[in-house]
Amino acid sequence: MWDKIKAIAFDLDGTLIDSVPDLTVATQEALAELSLKSCSEAQVRTWVGNGAEMLMRRAMTHALGSDVEQTALDAAMPIFMHHYQENLEKHSALYADVHQVLQTLFDAGFKLAVVTNKPYRFTLPLLNAFGINDFFSLVLGGDTLAKMKPDPLPLQHLLHEWQLDKEALLMVGDSKNDILAAKAAGIASIGLTYGYNYGEDIGLSGPDAVCEQFSEILNWVKPTK
């Protein structure tokens, strides 16, 4: 199976970049502006993965102790977006070996993409800030297509754009959303243990391989150049 891989889709938050510190600041500042109870970084780590709106919904539900009305959430989103724009790259960091591994795969001729549920407006600036944008020929945000992970549509889009058979594409991510999307698209997946997965063991989602460090990807996908 691994010998047939020609292209790799990477999740962003919790896979390439530890972005929770900045997401936490943005969430805390948004809650403060809304006069709502604050939250901790540890809590935000369990809330990310389903896009910005779900993050804010979870934060507001926690603060209120009850479900959030959609009208209140709609009013809160521009506030959160503003604060995240102001704190996009202040405290975030690349995980160990990410740049080196991406360089190795890129030099070996693999097609690389980012498939994230983060809004596209934040995705490209973050990739540029950490000097990894040039590795990727396609970047899909959570709002690029009609559906986002765990729906398979983003991965199906890659297969179509790159004219690949399913066995040629690999999904690498830290969340069950990544693994579920890969399974639904009929492609292989690698689950990373160090990211954000709602406090769950990524292995329970059934990826084809589990890696504790980003560099271990090269144990499965071995460049031939």
Catalytic residues, which ones?
11
Residues 6+ away with beta carbon under 8 Å from 151: 181, 184
First and final CA of the chain: distance in angstroms? Answer: 19
Q: Residue 11, Cβ neighbours under 10 Å: how many?
A: 26
Owner of token pair 């919904």: 57
Candidates 1, 2, 7; CA nearest to 135 is 7
Query: Are 206 and 181 contacting, i.e. CB atoms less than 8 angstroms apart?
Result: no
Residues 6+ away with beta carbon under 8 Å from 140: 113, 114, 115, 116, 120, 154, 157, 158
